[in-house]
Amino acid sequence: MSHKLISAALCFMPLVALAEEATAPKVKSPYTASAELGMLFKTGDTNSADVKAGFDFTHEAGAWKSTVNLGSLVKKSEEEDENGEDHFTTSDQKWTAVGQTNYTIDKASPNYIYANASYEDDRFSSFDNQSSISAGWGRRWYETEKTTLDADIGPGFKRDVVSATDTDPEEINTAFIVQAQALYTREINEHVLFKQLLVAKYAPKSDANSTYKARTSISTKLLETLQLKFSFTVDYNTDVDEDKENVNTETAMTLVYSF
């Protein structure tokens, strides 16, 4: 009889182990990442093709939080050459990289110190590239189960490489800046997430270029790891060439895969 009990117990042990594994709390990974891709092809009176891609990476461990955001945009439009033949030529090309590290001063406090670096290469703007670094103080000003508001401010340094023209050579401008940024997130429901980002890089020097950015996005969950994202971005430069616009906007719809 004892042998039968032992055999039965041995048979149930794997089932018990599986049950314990299923009920055990999952350890949250300190790493999160997502990749997005969107394409738009237009035909008819004008033919064009747009490709937008991005990658976001976040690492959280203890008091540290680091994020890296990469983005690119390429647009090709059909244009007629001097021989009357149509060709696809690049009419817009931009890529960006932004990294930030936050250190929470005290677990019981919402205050943190940060360091930020950014780089932007926009082929068809007044600048070959624009880069900046900044460090300062920030705070989580508001937090509920579904909503957060983070904002930080600090001094920094900005470097603009102005594109060469037919009359002027390439020029490098540097300036001290005050950088301020805020990020508001709101989980509308379990499937929809709203984000609003504001970034200002103000150069006190009278003839220096200041930049401002506003990005609004709404992500809708399609599957557990797949979202559909709508975004609208406004970029403003205070000092540009006469044939360039101060304000540039970008509207995009992309698929985002989280892993």
Q: In the predicted model, what is the mean pLDDT of residues 68-74?
A: 93
CATH of span 29-258: 2.40.160.40
Question: Among 69-78, 129-138, 235-244, which range has the highest average pLDDT?
Answer: 129-138
Q: Which residues, 6 or more positions from 256, have their beta carbon under 8 angstroms from its beta carbon?
A: 34, 35, 36, 219, 226, 227, 228, 229
Least confident range of 12-16, 77-81, 175-179, 223-227: 12-16
From the number of C-beta atoms within 10 Å of its C-beta (0-12, 13-18, 19+), residue 3 rates as exposed
φ and ψ of 25, to 5 deg: -65, 135
pLDDT recorded at residue 100? 97
Q: Average pLDDT over the chain, rounded to whole?
A: 86
Using DSSP's 3-state secondary structure scheme, residue 7 falls into helix
- Write the burial class of residue 106 (CB in 10 Å: 0-12 exposed, 13-18 middle, 19+ buried): exposed
Which among 12-26, 34-48, 221-235 has the top mean pLDDT?
Answer: 221-235
Residue 169 has pLDDT above 70, yes or no: yes
Instruction: Decide if 211 contacts 247 (C-beta within 8 A).
Output: no
Token pair for 256: 């985002």
Q: Which runs of consecutive H residues, i.e. helices, occur in the chain? A: 2-23
Q: What is the pLDDT of residue 24?
A: 53
What is residue 150's predicted lDDT score, i.e. its pLDDT? 95
Question: CA separation (Å) from 41 to 14, 49, 103?
Answer: 55, 4, 43
Residue 1: the pLDDT is 47
Q: How confident is the model at residue 9 (pLDDT cuts 50, 70, 90)?
A: very low
Residues 203, 164: Cα–Cα separation, whole Å: 22
Render pLDDT for 140-168 as a digit per residue (tens, 0 to 9): 999 999 999 999 999 999 999 988 877 77
> Taking Cα atoms as reference points, which of 52, 56, 132, 35 lies closest to residue 94?
52
The reported pLDDT for the residue numbered 43 is 60
